[in-house]
Structure 1
């Protein structure tokens, strides 16, 4: 994972883990690797990873079982809520960017439907 120097690393970790959860890359109910292992995988300090995980717990996306570790929530409605919020955020960015280059909303929608989500 490459980090943006303008955004705190723990916030970027929260965002990436959140995306991994809402996209299903990390499954509902799945046990997360240990803080140390996650820190090694992402090449960050374990304290930074712990801060990100604490934030995800505050968002109720993960929870801790004392002796078993950290798990992804099984609350599908909550995951869907965050997925919809993220989609809304991406949509707003898309339309703002398209407006910045001179497209109106209808043109941006037309362009998007014509491109078919090509990568």
Structure 2
């Protein structure tokens, strides 16, 4: 089943972030094996070379490790996963703030709206 991709960002980058979200949310746990390159390519509807690049980049970043003849696994290091989680949070917050400022909200207004939304969601 083919997935939708944003035409403004490289597909390997988008796949990588989808894996990061699954890892940080616990859908893929530390030490768990990732689907094969071929499986991921078929599921995402992309070229296997794109998936291979995704896996290589995640390995370069220290989030996954390849085990010869076994596949690619999420590192079994809670600290690495927590750093990744914090990095994703930082990126999301920066994007949110930039978007809100671009439509004219001040930092104070952004904070007030965010506090209101969190309070509403908690009810």
Residue 33 of structure 1 corresponds to which residue in structure 2? 35
Give the secondary-structure state (helix, strand or coil) at the position aligned to 2:72: strand
Corresponding residue of 1:65: 67
Q: Which runs of 5+ in 2 are unaligned?
A: none
Partner of 1:100: 102
Partner of 1:114: 116
Match of 1:80 in 2: 82
Could you tell me how far apart the structure 2 residues matched to 1:93 and 1:65 are? 35
**1:22-42: CA deviations, max 9, x gaps?**
222211111111111111111
Deviation at 1:5, TM superposition (A): 1.6
1:7 aligns to 2:5 (yes or no): no
Structure 2 SS opposite 1:51: helix
Q: TM-score, normalised on structure 1? A: 0.91
Query: Whole-Å Cα distance in 2 between the matches of residues 26 and 106 of structure 1?
Result: 37
Give 4+ residue runs of structure 1 displaced > 2 Å after superposition.
none
Query: Does the residue aligned with 1:28 lie in a helix, a strand or coil?
Result: coil
Q: How many residues align?
A: 118
- Structure 2 distance, partners of 1:42, 1:94, is 27
- Residue aligned with 2:76, SS: coil
Structure 1 gaps, min length 5: none
Question: TM-score, structure 2 length as denominator?
Answer: 0.88
Q: CA RMSD of the aligned region, Å?
A: 1.4
